[in-house]
Chain A
Amino acid sequence: MTTTGVGPLLRLAARRDRVMVAVWFVVLLAVCFASATSTGSLYPTTAERVKAAEAINASPGIVALYGPILDVRSEGELAMTKMTVLYAVLVAIMVLFVVRRHTRVEEEGGQSELLAGTAVTRAALLASGVAFGSLVSLALGVLAAAVDVAGGLPAGGSVAFGASWAGIGLVATGLTAVACQLSASARTCAAIAAVAMGALFVLRMVGDTTDASWLSWLTPFGWSTRLRAFGETRWWLLLPYAGTALVLVGVAVALNVRRDLGSGLLAARPGPATGSPRLSGVVALALRVHTPMLLGWTLGVGVLGVVFGAITPSFDAFDSAGIQDLLRRIGGEGALRDMLLGAVISVVSVIVTCFAVAVVGHSAGDEHDGRTEQVLATATSRARAFLATLTVGVLGATWLLLVSGVALAVGVGGDTRHSFGRLVGSALAQAPAMWVVAALAVLCFAWRSRWGLLGWGMVVLFATLGQIGELLGLPGWVLDLSPYSHAPRMPLEDFRPAPALVLTVIALGLLAVSWARYRSRDIG
């Protein structure tokens, strides 16, 4: 296998991705730094840290999300609780996007063909994607370690923690490289990789919250906590990350030589020779194009809801005096459950916003590629085209909130003091905040189609504002900039109509401005 051309391709990748990767890095590292630097002041004494760590370990809902804290006395482990597993998922997602972008997306778009015609071998196309993903992972690992040290955590542990992020990134690189060999569709490849990563996460979740703890040893997300970065570090656990990544890349290379450029290993199924009469307008078109994605999301959000609903309210280790004390302070066991359910719901509302933003991003892609031009050259008004994006994006995301609420209520079952309807309502109460963020994404796209991807920045900004803002003790008005901060923390709190109404009006106002701009601007 010759890999002539990897050098220039790597430089091309770095040039194309410098903004996107930089944004990911800034966000991930900022959260890392905020967590590292704030934990010491939040929990100044070892006793308080132990209490907090035991509280986390006592709640399967939190362990399911963050993983256990294996050394309850360690400041570093407590500080990096969210980072070690949950934010490592974000690292994996970033790498998925990066690697797919330089392999399958380019193949689908035809750029690979252009490149393969130059002094670049086919193997180099895959090799450069893998190399770029690996370099990004390693760089992020090094920077994460540096940021932790800067935040006041011990150097050895910081390095081990950074290595765990790099390891997750490397495994994600291999996984994506394999997934991108399978289907000719970049979307399907992303779905395959995402499902595989989701499975690895769920494996760890089950391992960490049940007696089958050996399951956690089978998945990279499990290794990240078992590495004991800030305790007696098991450095040898870094080998499985590298080994898994190498095996996956080997598989990807082997698959790559067995297929044609532009095709996937899974044979493309032929489509219908004629279009259904129902596929007759731009709204139907948008529904048709996004239905597979919506079904996937519905399934994902549904499973997530049921699993978290089932895990969240259960407690086992109540023997610790610290936990009893904690529970008393926040208003009893029921209040803790409500708080955890509320936390899950608020995470879900951010995730669901991503669906709306993805739909808006697709509309921007349609416009860039020229599909919108073809649609608007038919008897389709701009109003309908605009409506199509809104309908699928915003209504689709609202539907997903409903699904998550129902799934959560089903998962919780009878184990709650709340009615089924109140739990579903708790999820739907997040809708106005989600609408505002989605409307901001629409506004960016309406203003200029090239800005269609800025919506992702909005989601990341508002989601991390809550995370970092509280840790860094930013002033209240900064935190209040995030629409999510105005959604009621149901079921703990009660629904307040006023903020919901204001948010809804803001969302409608943003959409009105978006439409005014979209109807009067150039297309393409």
Chain B
Amino acid sequence: MADTHDPAISVRGLVKSFGSARALDGLDLEVQTGEVHGFLGPNGAGKSTTLRSLLGLLRTDAGSATVFGLDPWRDAVAIHRRLAYVPGDVALWPNLSGGETIDLLVRMRGGDPVASRRAELLERFDLDPTKKGRAYSKGNRQKVALVAAFAADSELLVLDEPTSGLDPLMEQVFNECVAEHTGRGATVLLSSHILSEVERLADRVTIIRAGRAVETGTLEEMRHLHRNRIRAVVAGVVPDLTAVPGVHDVTVEGREVSCTVDPEGLSAALDALTLAGVEALTSAPPTLEELFLDVYRSEPDAVRP
């Protein structure tokens, strides 16, 4: 058993090409044991390729990856005994019922479905296990895979855009299930392009773009790197904030001013506003959405206005 201080997943400079297309281009990723790690990126950024490499389904071209300190390609079976995987697009066996599929997957991971939490999960996810695989909708196919993954107490859950077909009610159940599993010490790697989901669940986040990690850290750390958005209504003349160092994106509409401010420019900006007589003020930390857009908008050395 790995030491709890060792990372559950460690990826260094991973490269994977499909023909001439470079899907992973020197990716770094580290998931600590016991954390929920959000893996964010738009479609085609290389999220699924990363997860499938970590499962030993793909043979990578360069770099290193370990899961539980083991090599995903050579030690696939040993690793898989300790994890559960939910693919992004769940395909079921057309002539197997949902219940049979769940039990099959649990058994193939070395678990015992009878002793597992499957009955309780079926109820919570409101899933009819007697339907044949072909009769399930996308959301229900997803639920089959989720129930199979959550039923046993795996050390690691690898979830590829797991809520893409679920309604908000079921998303809530999903969040609870993730919380229960982290509560007993499980590690979760959650890939997503749904920012609110990651914001709610993840302890740390890695943002991936074009096969490369562009940002990684806790949400706190990322927020420090980024600007607050300030909106204010002033009593007097709107001060010229563009001259204040660290203030950007200034828009003025009548007596209302809106801007984004670097942490180091915050005091100066507030001083200027106070002088003008603040009537209303809101300051919001950047949402993950904004962090995300920031990362994507920026060409490496683009100059901000």
Which A positions have Cβ atoms within 8 angstroms of B?
Answer: 108, 184-185, 187, 262, 268, 270-277, 279-282, 285, 288-289, 292, 369-371, 373-382, 520-524
Nearest opposing residue in chain B for A270, CB measure = B130
CA–CA, A491 and B130, complex, Å: 51
20 contacts between A and B (CB under 8 A): A184-B132, A271-B100, A273-B99, A273-B129, A273-B130, A276-B100, A292-B95, A370-B87, A371-B93, A373-B55, A377-B57, A378-B80, A378-B109, A379-B108, A379-B110, A380-B80, A380-B108, A520-B59, A524-B52, A524-B57
Q: Smallest Cβ distance from B86 to chain A, in angstroms?
A: 9
Q: Are A285 and B81 in contact (CB under 8 A)?
A: no
CA–CA, A292 and B97, complex, Å: 15
CA–CA, A504 and B178, complex, Å: 53
Q: Are B91 and A369 in contact (CB under 8 A)?
A: yes
B275 adjacent to chain A (CB < 8 Å): no
Q: Smallest Cβ distance from A431 to chain B, in angstroms?
A: 29
Q: Are A271 and B99 in contact (CB under 8 A)?
A: yes
Q: Are A374 and B85 in contact (CB under 8 A)?
A: yes
Nearest 10 CB-CB pairs, A to B?
A: A271-B97, A275-B103, A378-B108, A270-B130, A275-B100, A377-B85, A369-B91, A280-B107, A370-B91, A273-B99
Q: Smallest Cβ distance from B127 to chain A, in angstroms?
A: 10
Q: Are A279 and B104 in contact (CB under 8 A)?
A: yes
Contact of B104 among A108, A285, A292 (CB under 8 A): A285
Contact of B107 among A108, A185, A275, A288 (CB under 8 A): A275
Nearest opposing residue in chain B for A523, CB measure = B57
Q: Are A376 and B57 in contact (CB under 8 A)?
A: yes
Q: In the complex where A271-B130, A279-B107 touch, is A374 in contact with B97 (Cβ < 8 A)? A: no
Task: Give the interface centre of A273, A280, A375 by most chain B CB atoms within 10 Å.
Answer: A273
Give B77-100 as 1s and 0s: 1 = Cβ < 8 Å from A's Cβ atoms.
100110101010111111111111
Contact of B101 among A275, A376, A522 (CB under 8 A): A275
Chain B residue contacts of A522, Cβ below 8 A: 57-59
Q: Are A274 and B57 in contact (CB under 8 A)?
A: no
Give B90-126 as 1s and 0s: 1 = Cβ < 8 Å from A's Cβ atoms.
1111111111111111011110010000000000000
CA–CA, A187 and B133, complex, Å: 14
CA–CA, A524 and B88, complex, Å: 13
CA–CA, A268 and B90, complex, Å: 21
Q: Are B93 and A272 in contact (CB under 8 A)?
A: no
CA–CA, A52 and B135, complex, Å: 56
Q: Are B135 and A379 in contact (CB under 8 A)?
A: no
Contact of B131 among A270, A277, A371, A375 (CB under 8 A): A270
Q: In the complex where A270-B97, A272-B99, A371-B93 touch, is A280 in contact with B104 (Cβ < 8 A)? A: yes
Q: Are B87 and A268 in contact (CB under 8 A)?
A: no
Nearest opposing residue in chain B for A520, CB measure = B59
Chain B residue contacts of A271, Cβ below 8 A: 95-100, 130-132
Q: Smallest Cβ distance from B153 to chain A, in angstroms?
A: 15
CA–CA, A282 and B105, complex, Å: 10
Q: Smallest Cβ distance from B160 to chain A, in angstroms?
A: 10
Nearest opposing residue in chain B for A522, CB measure = B58
Q: Are A275 and B145 in contact (CB under 8 A)?
A: no
Q: Are B135 and A184 in contact (CB under 8 A)?
A: yes
B22 adjacent to chain A (CB < 8 Å): no
Chain A residue contacts of B90, Cβ below 8 A: 370, 374
CA–CA, A375 and B87, complex, Å: 11
Contact of A523 among B58, B77, B89, B104 (CB under 8 A): B58
Nearest opposing residue in chain A for B134, CB measure = A108
Q: Smallest Cβ distance from A354 to chain B, in angstroms?
A: 20
Q: Are A289 and B130 in contact (CB under 8 A)?
A: no
Q: Are A373 and B57 in contact (CB under 8 A)?
A: yes
Chain A residue contacts of B179, Cβ below 8 A: none
Nearest opposing residue in chain B for A382, CB measure = B76
Q: Are A374 and B77 in contact (CB under 8 A)?
A: no
Q: Are B97 and A272 in contact (CB under 8 A)?
A: yes
Nearest opposing residue in chain A for B130, CB measure = A270
Q: In the complex where A270-B131, A272-B99 touch, is A377 in contact with B55 (Cβ < 8 A)? A: yes
Q: Smallest Cβ distance from A481 to chain B, in angstroms?
A: 32
CA–CA, A275 and B129, complex, Å: 10
CA–CA, A204 and B158, complex, Å: 58
CA–CA, A292 and B96, complex, Å: 12
Task: Give the interface centre of A187, A374, A376 by most chain B CB atoms within 10 Å.
Answer: A374
Q: Smallest Cβ distance from A66 to chain B, in angstroms?
A: 37
CA–CA, A274 and B134, complex, Å: 17
Q: Smallest Cβ distance from A163 to chain B, in angstroms?
A: 38
Contact of A289 among B76, B93, B135 (CB under 8 A): B93
Q: In the complex where A184-B134, A376-B57 touch, is A370 in contact with B89 (Cβ < 8 A)? A: yes
Nearest opposing residue in chain B for A186, CB measure = B94
Q: In the complex where A289-B93, A379-B110 touch, is A268 in contact with B132 (Cβ < 8 A)? A: yes
CA–CA, A276 and B81, complex, Å: 21
Nearest opposing residue in chain B for A291, CB measure = B95
Chain B residue contacts of A524, Cβ below 8 A: 52, 57-58
Chain B residue contacts of A371, Cβ below 8 A: 91-93
Contacts of B38-76 to chain A: CB distance below 8 A: 52, 55-59, 76
Q: Smallest Cβ distance from B145 to chain A, in angstroms?
A: 7
Chain A residue contacts of B104, Cβ below 8 A: 275, 279-280, 285
CA–CA, A272 and B102, complex, Å: 12
Chain A residue contacts of B93, Cβ below 8 A: 285, 289, 371
Q: In the complex where A275-B104, A289-B93, A524-B57 touch, is A374 in contact with B99 (Cβ < 8 A)? A: no
CA–CA, A81 and B113, complex, Å: 59
Q: Are B81 and A379 in contact (CB under 8 A)?
A: yes
Chain B residue contacts of A523, Cβ below 8 A: 52, 57-58
Chain A residue contacts of B134, Cβ below 8 A: 108, 184-185
